[in-house]
Structure 1
Amino acid sequence: MSASDSICARFRCAFPGFTLNVDLTLPGTGITALFGHSGCGKTTLLRCMAGLHSADGTMTVLGEPWQTPRTFLPVHKRPLAYVFQETHLFPHLNVRKNLEFGYRRIPAAQRQISFDDAVSWLGLETHLTRMPAGLSGGERQRVAIARALLTSPRLLLMDEPLSALDKVSKQDILPYLERLRDALAIPIVYVSHSTAEVARLADHLVVLEDGKVVAKGPMRETLSRLDNPFRLDDDAGVLVEGTIAELDEHWHLARFEFNGGTLWLGRDNGMQPGDRVRVRLLARDISLALDRHPNQSIQNLIPATIDRIEPDVTPGISIARLLAGPTPVLARLTTRAVDQLALAPGRSVWMQIKSVALAD
């Protein structure tokens, strides 16, 4: 990545008992997720990028220097938008006037996003005359995101924007965030500690631990690495992208095709043949067999080759990285099963996938 099409962030700052020390080059398009457990430095890094916290280092966005060893662009002069956990809407203004507040302050010649596009992308057409107090949590957050976009930022920072929402509200807003990811040319840096949220939205992943970067790279490749901290969690797994090839009306299933095989998954009401979707395959939901066993309740059986096997942090458990065609998949197994089946790199096996779901 060249400086003109990337985000370069190098920061070091110390607090009592904690030091942030990162050196990152991020893509200038799509969603980059900053992931990690509470206290790992995600929000601190985001605040350094915004200029809300002064730290030693440098910051360049799409070739434009925002911070150097000799200069520091204050936050109000950085062409960015910041979406917080709380929406901070003006309670005395309706939705339209909340959106227009920032939009009207941008000269017409500098507006990169139209008012109608932002309203359409966030599904706010029928909400423009409503007051914030009458909106649900998910609706208020959609207004906050649209308001941020209407300032025509060169960089959008989002600090756990769904953390204050209940499960139903999260499911309501996620499709709108996916729409933004696909429609916007603006890079988005998105903080989250939710594996499922990151798997559904992100194109690029940065994993932080104790103020340091412990893994980074394109989403699918990073999730499938055996040295990734993701694999130590119960929801460790990989992300697979493919196409809905068929809808089975009788069994209410959808046939999903990817570069490595075919899977049946539960049908979503809005799903149509030809749709590009992501599914999550969790390591705990995959078992291995040396032969194909069709007479069983598990319906998804896919041939694969073992790439690597390593011990997990839990005694007696191993984690295997497999290749279904070129697609990497992780499986969590007992070490006893690995020994009894003589599983080793290069061995051909059948993956028995107990559960498949859209990334959500």
Structure 2
Amino acid sequence: MRGYAGFAARRVGQAVVVVLLAYVATFVVISVLPGDPVTNTLRNPENGFTEDEIARIVSYYGLDQPVVVQLWEALSRFVVGDLGVSLRSNRPVSQSIAEVLPSTLTLAGGALAVAIVLAAVVAAATQFLPRGAGQGVARSLPSLFLSVPNFVIGLVLIHVFALKLGLFRVIDPDSAWATAFAALALGIPVSAQLAEVLVAGLDHESRQEYASVARSRGLGRTRLLLRHLLRPSSLPVVTVLALTVGELLGGALITETIFGRAGIGSLVESSVTTQDLPVLQAVVSLAAVVFVVVNLLADLVYPLLDPRVRTPRTTTARPVEVSVA
């Protein structure tokens, strides 16, 4: 347990460093973009800023200071959770994000649930359907899911279930049915990777000697799958699941546009149009934080799920020591 605590502490420290580096990289990239935010945004007559408001924003961001000073001030604010103020609306960026984040999280969470369920169904079908056509169809489904972009799936779902069957209204994108179909459009492509990894894991484990011994003792396929094959086969899925978070976030922006949902996607779109750099930087940094945290959780959970996974522990006698969880 002491070895695991050290392993967890190192992973948390690495995650913090990665988040800070991602924020710095985002700031540098945005800083070298062409255009002057003071001229293009603050002094745009359409935004209605007074000279006093412009002076306060310039002073807040240090826009009249060298880039290094601006970076230090921005990083200092980010560490304490201050995401800045919008150059367009003069509102706190955290408030703008908080208004649309629940919608995006609902969509991404629903899509993740859809992906997990579809992957489990496909994997179970490859184990229980008769050999030949049944299993062949089941094994070909992940390739089909992955080959069709989510925006095409979304348009088909809107045409069939909204326009033809009338199960939901396009003008009400936040209804339960609309959210469910949006999650389905986003979750189907994501499920392909999970299903491929899970099917490969089940095939590998089913060929192991312990599985043959269990079958010889009369253990049924269902009990064999649930008691012996599923847990070791699902371990690689944890890693893939963490890596698909980026795909979920990116796909959510497209899906929100297709279904007309007000979420992070619409916020990013308006910020790009108006060159609202603080909002863009906050959204990119938030995505980096989510991605790093999810992968951190996967790293921490992995050794707990499988006793065969060892956590490295540094000692004075040897460079690497292993302990069985």
Q: Quickly name the TM-score band, shorter chain normalised.
A: under 0.3
Structure with greater strand percent: 1
Q: TM-score, normalised by structure 1?
A: 0.22
Of structures 1 and 2, the larger Rg is shown by 2
Structure with greater helix percent: 2
